[in-house]
Structure 1
Amino acid sequence: MSARFRPIPGPVPTGGPAPEALPRAQWQQLLAFALLYVLVWSVLPPRLLSSLPFDVVESISWGREWQWGYYKHPPLAPWVLHLFYRAFGNVGPFLLSQLCIAATLGFVWLTGRRLLGPQRALLGTALTMGVAFYTRPALEFNHNVAQMPLWAGIGWAMLVALQEGRPRHWLLLGLLGGLGMLTKYSIGILLLCLGLYLLLGPQRARLRGAGPWLALAVLLAVLAPHLKWLWQSGWLPLTYMGERSATPGSSARLAALGFLATQLLNHLPMLLVLLGAALGARRSLPAAGAALTGGPRGYALHTTWPGYLWCLALGPGLLLTLLGLALGLRIRDMWGMPMWAFSGLLVAAWLPGRWVAPLRTPVLRGTAAWLVLATALSLGYLAFGAQLRHKPARTDWPQAALAAQAAATWDALSHCPLDVVAGNYWLAGLVAVPLAQRPSVLVTGDARFSPWVTPQRLLHGGALWLREDDEAPAPPAPLGDPTVLAALQEHRGQWQLPWPHDAQAPALTLHWRAYVPARCSRAAPAPSNF
C-alpha cells in the first residue's frame, strides 16, 4: 500500500495503557441515571399533555401513508415516528426523541475516544448535554431531532473511514449520509463541510482512492427513490424550503447573526457547568504553568486531528450563518439543533492535560444537576404552562375529546369507517392520529400535498371536513370537485368542547361537514355537541 493512502492512526498513547474514563461502579451509576432520565422524559410528558405536539401530529399523519416524500420534508422521520406511535402509543414520540439523543451521545463518545482518548471523550460527551437543544426542545420529535444521531454518526463514520481506510467504513459513511438526506436536507450542510475538509485539508489524497467515491455512490443509491419522487412531485419540498427561508426587506442578514447568537445562548448551560466544575475543583487543579502540555504557548488542541474536530464542531453552524449573510436567507434558530453534537468535544480538547482527571467528577455532577433542573422546569411548564400563559398551547388542545366527537359524529351518519379527515394540517391531523380507523389526512391547500386522497377514494369512503370558522371557502381539492360533491350526502354541524386546563374558559368551537357516500348513509341525525 502506498504511504500516501496508508490508514492514519488516532491519538498516539503517551506510554502504558490508555486510562479508563470511569471505574465500573461509576459507569453503572451513570447508566442508571441515564436510564432514569430517558424513562422520565418518555413517560411523564404524555401524561401531562392533553394533545401531541404540532410536529408530531403532522409527521404521524404523513408516516402512515408510506410515501417516498412529503411536501415539506423527506420521508424517513415520519416513517420511524409512525412505527413508534403504533408500537408505544402516546409514549412513542417522546421515547423516540430520547433514543435519538442517546444514539447521538453514543456516536459522540466513540468519536471522542478516537480523537481525544477516553477521559476527554467522557468530559466532552457529558458537556454535550449542556447544550439546551438536548433538553426541552427535544420533547417535540421532528426532523431536527431525527437528524441528531445521523449527524453524529456521519462525523464518526468519516473519522473511522479516514483512520482505517477500509471499504466497509466508506460504505457505512455513504449509508449514514443517505439516511441523513432522507431525514432532512439540511444535513447536506454537514456533508458539504466534510467534503471541503477532504478537498482542502491534509486528507485530500484520499480523493484519489476509491473510498470517498464509494461512499458517494451508496449515498446516491439510498437517496435514489426519493430523488425520483422529488422529480415526479415537481420538487415540492424544495419549493416549500425556499418559501420558508425567504425574508422580505433587509433584515434577513441580521437574522443570520441572530441565528448565531441563539446558538451561543443555547451553549450557556454547558459553559456554566464547566465554570462551576472548575470553581468546585479549583483546589485540586494544578497550577497553570505545571498543567500546560501544548508547547510554549500553553493551551493547544489535544488531538492529532485538530482540523477535523474544528470542522465537525463549528463548520456547519458557521457555514450556515455565512450562507444566510451572503444570500439573505431566513435561517430558523431550530435548524441548529443537530449541528452542535461535537461542541462539547471541542471544549474538552482545549482543557489542559492535568485538568482532565480532576474535572471529571465535577463535570458529571454539574451535568446531572443541570439535567435535573431542566427536567423539573420542563415538566412544570408542561403541567402548568396554560395557566401561566392564560391561553392554551398546541399541546393543551382536547385531542382525545376531539377524536371521540369525530368518531361519534361519523358513526351516527355512516356505517362505513371514517377514511379521510380534511382540514388544515393541525386540526385534521389532531383528530385523525388517535382514531382506531387510522384515517388519512387531506390537507387544505394544494391537492399535491395529499396525493393519497384521490377522487375515487372519496367517492368510496367519503370524508369529514373540519375548520375553526364557518366562513371557509369550498372544500379542499379533490373533495371540492363538483363531481365528487354531487355523489356524496352533505351534513353540517358544530362541536363545542371545554379546554382541558380551564373548564371556565369559552369552549372550543369547531365546525364540521360530513360527506357520506349513499351506500354508507344512516338515517339517524348526527349529534351536534359533545
Structure 2
Amino acid sequence: MQNHAATSTSPTVAPVRRTLTLRALISRAAVSVQFSPSLYVTVYAIVWTLTSATLDPTVPFDAVEALNWARNAEWGTPKNPWLVGFSMWPALGLGLNGEALAFYWYASHFAVVAVGMLGVWHLAKRLSGDRRLAWLGMLSLHLTGAINIDILPYNDNYLLVMLWPWMLWLFVRAMFDSPRFWLAFGVVAGLAAMTKYSTFALLGAMFVMTLWTSDTRRHYRHPAFLLGLLIFFALIAPNILWLMQHDFAAFRWVDDQIRQRLNSRGLRGALTAFYPVATLAFVMHLAGLRFRRPAASVWVVAVTVLAPLLPILVYFTLHEGGRISEWLQPFAVPLPALLVACVVPITAKRAPRISRWLPVVGLTVWMGYATVLSLNLRNAGEKFAGIKAASIALEQRWQTRYHTPLAYVGNDHLATWLTFYAPGQPRLITRWSEKKRPNIYTKDIDEVEVRARGAILLGHPGRSCRQASFAHTLALWPSLTIDARETLPFSYHGGNKPGSVMPLCVAYIAPQP
C-alpha cells in the first residue's frame, strides 16, 4: 500500500517543481533588473534597437550625413565637429552596407542612449546619496522622447545624451570628491565638445564655477587638472585648425539658418523640452515627496545646466530659424537628477511609488511607436521606402549596363541617399567649396578618376528626361559626357498609390578607363 501511494503521488510533484522553477527564474530576472540599472538600460537598448531596425522603413537623412563625413575622415564637418563622423567608423571598418548599416545606426543610437541613462542614474545617486532617488531620476526619462523617438533623427544629440550626464558627474566628483577625476573629465568634455559646439555653453558655466571661490580655484594647481586640460585641448585643437582651413564653415552654416525676427519658438521649444521635468515635479509632490534647498554640489550642477539656457532662449526669441528643440533637448536629460537630489531625505521612501509606474509609461511609448509603424499610420511605416528601393535598382541597372561597380553619383539631392542605400556605397561627385559650403561632399575627389569609373546623375524627381537638365553639374566637370539617359518611374514612399509615382531622369556617364 505504501509503494502504491508513493508511485501515485510522484507524478504530481514533478510539474509543481517545474512551475516553481520557472516562477523563480522569472522572479529572479525581475529582481535583477530592478536592482541593476546596467541590466535595465541594456534590455531597454536591445528592445528599442530591434523594434526600430525591424519596423522603421528608412534611416533619417542625418545618417547619410554621418556616413559621408566618416568616409571623408576629416577633423570637422560643415555642421559639426569630428566625433559625429567618427562615430560611424566602426560600420566602415566592418564593411556594413544597406540594412546592416541601418541596423548599426539604430543599435549605436540606443547603446549610446543606454550609457547616458546610466550616467543620469550615477549623477542622481551622487547628488542625492539615495539609490531610490537615483532610480526615480533615471526612470523619469521615460517621460521624454529624448531617449527614443525624438533622438533617432539626429546624428549629434544622441552622443550628447550619453556624454553630458557623465561629464556633469565627473565635474561633481572632481570638484567635491577628488581632483583625480579631472583627467577623465578632460576626455569626456573634449569628446562632448567635438560632438556639438553647444557643449561649450556648459563648459563656460563650469569654468565660472571653478573661479567662484578660493577653494574651487585650488584645482588649478593640481596636476590632474592640468593634464585633463591638456587632453581637452588636444581633442579640440584639430577641429580648430580644420575650421580655420574651411572658413569656419560650421559657424557660417548656423548663421545661414537664422534671421533676425521676434518669435515665440524659443518659448514653445522650452515647453516642449522641459515639460517632462515639470510633470515629474508635480507627480513627486502628489506622491508625498517634499523638496529642500539644494546642497552645494546640486547648486553647482544646476547653475552649470540652467545658466546657459537664458541667453540661448533670448537669442532664439529674437532670431528665427534653426531647430530650437534640437538645441534644448540635451539640456533636459540631466535635469531629473537635479530634481530628485532636492528631495527631503525622510520622504525619499515614497519614491518607489512613482518609479514602479514609469516603466509602464516607457512600455506605452514603445507600444505606440511599434503600432504606428506596423500599421503604417500616416505613412510612417513606408516613409521614404521608395528611395531605398530606387537606390538598389539603380545600381543593378548600372551593373547590367557597364558590368562594373557604381562608384559615383550626383546632380540632385536624391543622389545623396544612394551613398547610403546603394550596395556599393558610391561617393558623391561634389567638391568642397567655401562659397557654397555643401553639407555633403567628397574629399579630394579627382576628375580623372570620376571619368575612369563613370557616374550616375539623377534629375529632379517629377521631371522626365525631356525636362531634366544636368548642365550645372557637367559645367563643373568639363571632361564628363553623358552616354545614355532614361526616364524611370519613381516614388518617394514606395507603392503605387495614385499621384505618388513620378518620372525620374537617370543619366549615365560611361566609364572610360
Which range, TM-score by smaller chain?
A: 0.7 to 0.9
User: Which of 158, 176, 198 matches 2:188?
Assistant: 176
Deviation, 1:380, is 2.1
CA contact (8 A) 1:63 1:80 kept: yes
How much does 1:445 deviate?
Answer: 9.0
Aligned to 1:402: 390
Determine if the alignment matches structure 1 residue 42 to structure 2 residue 49: yes
Pair 1:395–1:315, CA change in 2 (3 A): farther
Give 1:134's aligned residue. Answer: 147
Query: Does residue 191 of structure 1 match 2:185?
Result: no
Q: CA deviation at 1:200?
A: 3.1
- Take 2:431 and 2:421, find their aligned partners in 1: how far apart are those partners? 20
How far does the alpha carbon of each residue in 1:417-444 deviate from its partner, in whole angstroms, 9 at most, with x for none?
211121455x223222133322112459
- 8 Å CA contact 1:143–1:184 kept in 2: the answer is yes
Q: Distance in 2 between matches of 1:149 and 1:428?
A: 32
1:95 matched to 2:97: no
Q: Does 1:490 align with 2:506?
A: no
Find the aligned partners of 1:207 and 1:55 in 2 and give their Cα distance: 40
The answer for unaligned runs of 5 or more in structure 1 is: 1-22, 286-291, 293-298, 520-530
- Mapping for residues 19-168 of structure 1, pairs under 5 Å: 26-29=31-34, 34-84=41-91, 86=94, 88-119=100-131, 120-167=133-180
SS at match of 1:247: strand
**2:366 corresponds to 1:378:** no
How far the C-alpha of 1:377 sits from its partner, in A, is 1.5
Which residue identity lines up with residue 216 of structure 1 in the other structure?
L
Q: Is the CA contact 2:487–2:506 (under 8 Å) kept in the aligned structure 1?
A: yes
| Equivalent pair of 2:145/2:151 in contact (CA under 8 Å) | no
Instruction: After superposition, give the CA deviation of every residue in 1:429-481 in whole Å (9 maximum; x if it has no partner).
Output: 3222133322112459957532423323312322212232445554565x533
1:457 aligned onto 2:449: yes
Tell me the TM-score normalised to structure 1 length: 0.79
| Residue 236 to residue 178, structure 1, CA distance change in 2 (3 Å) | same
Deviation at 1:369, TM superposition (A): 1.1
Structure 1 stretch displaced more, 81-90 or 370-379? 81-90
User: Quick check: 1:419–1:461 contact (8 Å CA) kept in 2?
Assistant: yes
When residues 136 and 394 of structure 1 are mapped into structure 2, their CA distance, relative to the original with a 3 A threshold, is same
What is the rounded CA distance, in whole Å, between the counterparts of 1:346 and 1:136 in structure 2?
A: 24
SS in 2 for 1:464: strand
User: 1:517 matched to which residue of 2?
Assistant: 511
Looking at structure 2, the residues matched to 270 and 476 of structure 1 have their Cα atoms a distance apart, in angstroms, of 55
Q: Residue 24 of structure 2 aligns with which residue?
A: none
Which amino acid in structure 2 is aligned with residue 81 of structure 1? Answer: M
Contact kept, 8 Å, 1:126 with 1:344, in 2: the verdict is no
- Quote the Cα distance in structure 2 between the aligned partners of 1:113 and 1:317: 24
Among candidates 351, 366, 378, match of residue 357 of structure 2: 366
Residues 406-445 of structure 1 mapped to structure 2, 5 A cutoff = 406-425=394-413, 427-443=414-430
Give SS of 1:484's match: coil
Counterpart residue type for residue 224 of structure 1:
A
For residues 47 and 138 of structure 1, the distance between their equivalents in structure 2, rounded to whole angstroms, comes to: 17
Q: Secondary structure at the match of 1:517?
A: coil
Question: Are 2:480 and 1:480 equivalent residues in the alignment?
Answer: no
Query: 1:143 deviation in Å?
Result: 0.7
CA distance in 1, matches of 2:321, 2:391: 39
2:505 maps to a residue whose letter is H
Amino acid at match of 2:147: Y
* Alpha-carbon distance in 1 for matches of 2:175, 2:192: 20
Task: Report the CA distance shift for 1:59/1:509 in structure 2 as closer, same or farther (over 3 A).
Answer: farther
Are the aligned partners of 2:262 and 2:317 in contact in 1 as well (CA < 8 Å)? no
1:265 equivalent in structure 2: 275
* Gaps in structure 2 of 5+ consecutive residues: 1-27
- Name the aligned partner's letter for residue 209 of structure 1: R
| Counterpart amino acid of residue 70 in structure 1 | T
Distance 1:201 1:476 in 2: 61
Q: Is the 8 A contact 1:126 1:364 kept in 2?
A: yes
Q: Percent identity of the aligned residues?
A: 19
Encode CA deviations 1:234-257: one digit per residue, 9 max, x unaligned.
21111102212x224333xx3333
1:483-513 Cα shifts (integer Å, max 9, x gaps): 322xx44321222145666433332432222
Aligned partners of 2:488 and 2:505 also within 8 Å: yes
Q: Which moved more, 1:214-223 or 1:371-380?
A: 214-223
Provide the rounded CA distance (Å) in 2 between the counterparts of 1:82 and 1:340.
Answer: 29
User: RMSD value over aligned CA atoms?
Assistant: 3.1
Structure 2 residue 461 is the aligned partner of structure 1 residue 468? yes
Once the two structures are TM-superposed, the CA of residue 272 in structure 1 deviates from its matched residue by: 6.7
- Separation in 2 of the partners of 1:472 and 1:225? 42
Alpha carbons of structure 1 residues 513 and 501: separation in structure 2 relative to 1, 3 Å: closer
Does structure 2 retain, via aligned residues, the 8 Å contact 1:96–1:141?
no
Separation in structure 1 between the aligned mates of residue 405 and residue 29 of structure 2, nearest angstrom:
56
Cα pair distance change 1:351/1:392, threshold 3 Å: closer
The 1:393–1:381 alpha-carbon spacing in structure 2 relative to 1, beyond 3 Å, is closer
Match of 2:324 in 1: 332
Instruction: Give the 5 Å matches for 1:183-332.
Output: 183-200=195-212, 203-206=215-218, 208-210=220-222, 212-244=225-257, 246-251=258-263, 254-267=264-277, 270-271=280-281, 274=284, 278-279=286-287, 299-301=291-293, 303-325=295-317, 332=324
C-alpha contact 1:126 1:363 (8 A) present in aligned 2: no
Q: How many matched pairs?
A: 467
Give TM-score scaled by structure 2 length. 0.81
What is the rounded CA distance, in whole Å, between the counterparts of 1:476 and 1:206 in structure 2? 61
